[in-house]
Amino acid sequence: RRPGGGVRRLLTMPLRNPIILASLLGVAVSATGLRLPAAVTQPCDVLGAAAVPTALITLGLSLHRGPGGGGRARRERAETAVVIAVKTLGQPLAALLVAGPLLHLPDHQLLAVVLCAALPTAQNSFIYAREYGLDTGLARDAIVASTLVSMVTLSVAAWALGP
């Protein structure tokens, strides 16, 4: 390896990330006011509309698990429980403490911030975990369980902070 190659690779990583590149390209096109022809935008619209259903289908397919057990299963359940507690309780509480006492947001904005923080884990986390070769089981379990738990936490937050 060349000296400094690791640093250069690290610094150029954002420029090689397709999500960041697509976002930057979108900002550039929007800033110029350029309108792309329908022949270009129509396939992009179709792909964009298919993204969420495709992610949900992928997540659904991952719900089938092989037999597991033993200490590993207990450790995975404990890890998932911590992730869910942080996402569904810790994050909304942190948002409440920052948006309320520190930022002094009005009631309706405080409600919006806390509700957004209390949303369940996004299915994108599963897609990213799969793409980058990480633990898809944790992402999958966090998505499913936080969706169930958030039905309660979102209701409580809306009741407590709502009009």
Residue 75: per-residue pLDDT: 74
User: pTM of the full predicted structure?
Assistant: 0.66
Residue 27: per-residue pLDDT: 92
Q: Which residues of 11-44 are buried (b: 16+ CB within 10 A; e: fewer)?
A: eeeeeeeeeeeeeeeeeeeeeeeeeeeeeeeeee
- Most confident listed range (14-28, 107-121, 135-149): 107-121
Contact call for residues 15 and 21 (beta carbons, < 8 A): yes
In one-letter notation, the amino acid at residue 21 is: L
Of 5, 149, 155, nearest in space to 86 by CA: 149
Q: 4-44, pLDDT tens digit by residue?
A: 567 888 888 888 888 888 889 889 988 999 888 999 889 98
Read off the pLDDT band of 57 (50, 70, 90): confident
Give the start-to-end residue ranges of the domains of the chain.
Answer: 5-35, 71-161
